Amino acid sequence: MRILAVLTVRNEAAFLLEWLAHHRAVGFTDFLVFSNDCQDGTDTMLDHLAAMGQLTHIRNDGPYHKGGIQFTALNDASKMDIVKQADWILALDIDEFVNIHVGDHTISALLAALPDATAITLTWRLFGNNDAVRYSDTPVTETFTHCAPVIMFWPWRSAMFKTLYRNDGTYRKIGVHRPRSPDSDRLTQARWFDGQGRELEEQFKKRRLFSSYGRPNYQLVQLNHYALGSMESYVLKADRGRAVHSDHILGVDYWVERNFNTDTDESIHDIAPQRSEILKEICDDADIMTLHNQAVDWRKSRFQTLMKEEPFRALFARLLMTPPSRLVSLKDARSLSSHARSGKNQTH
């Protein structure tokens, strides 16, 4: 069985090896990685990893479709043999880590737990900043262990998911959060399940991007989302631009909607021994370690450069002054939802 992860990256070589080793340990057999506009050596590292047989690397240099850089990559991916030959596909970002809670914590164990599934939604669990100011070359999954609670009512992005789906022709294209371009004749045979093991309604087969609020979604699997990192790393993320909307500058609003630190979740460490073994094997290559260390140095140097510029210096100062996000109660969530609906109904 071939299980494919599709990734788009820019200036993220310092995080690439941990991400790759983790997902190999989880059970992904193939990796298709697109890079664009890299200054930190990410593209060079990917070329070297491709030569080692670890992944397939494509330079996504443009021109880009109207949907942007990531949409262009995913549209191109759908035409490639590595995608056509995959049995299961999942599109991921570098700050997303699959965290499986059943069996031996692998994709095979998850599929065995949901044998009738043709698609499984992996709901985000937002991991906060842990009050980390400085960037350090330490594993993301070990550094950031504080997160949002299992049940969230707001913000709506806390319930967004990515979709692991069977590549059986039901969907013709890979999407950022879910497969796209469905074959209407095949949709009746599709069976979607969530990370809790519940079979999902028909609407999920066509358009839904987020799980239902106010209930747990993580019993079998979750997607650890380390969207923030340290404050220094977040400034570099703002400099890099968003994966989907690369022209949108990240600000404090993005930070606040994801910086929840009320709970602790270290369940991803169950796969750490396997990840560490794979990571050691990859890092035995001296050239890979040189590229990794150069990327770490680049991040530190780039941050110092950004501190001489606005708006990055102002963004860093605001992060330092912004406390962790507080939870929204069910009552407040209903009030927010009511205000949102009333606002949409107003005519201006």
pLDDT in tens, the chain (348 residues): 999 999 999 999 999 999 999 999 999 999 999 999 999 999 999 999 999 999 999 999 989 988 899 999 999 999 999 999 999 999 999 999 999 999 999 999 999 999 999 999 999 999 999 999 999 999 999 999 999 999 998 888 899 999 999 999 999 999 999 999 999 999 999 999 999 999 999 999 999 999 988 899 999 999 999 999 999 999 999 998 765 544 567 999 999 999 999 999 999 999 999 999 999 999 999 999 999 999 999 999 999 999 999 999 999 999 999 999 988 766 676 676 666 555 544 332
Question: Which DSSP symbol is given to 205?
Answer: G
| Cis ω before 179 (30° cut-off from 0) | no
Alpha-carbon 126 to chain mean position? 10
- Rounded CA-CA distance 173/144 in Å is 33
Three-state secondary structure call for residue 220: coil
Q: Is 174 exposed, middle or buried (0-12, 13-18, 19+ CB in 10 A)?
A: buried
CA distances from 5 to 22, 30, 159, 176, 321 (A): 12, 6, 21, 12, 37
229/235 Cα distance (integer angstroms): 10
The residue to which tokens 């650890």 are assigned: 224
Q: Sign of dihedral through CA atoms 34, 143, 147, 227?
A: negative
| 309 CA to centre of own chain | 29
Q: What is the pTM of this model?
A: 0.93
Q: How far apart are CA 319 and CA 112, in angstroms?
A: 43
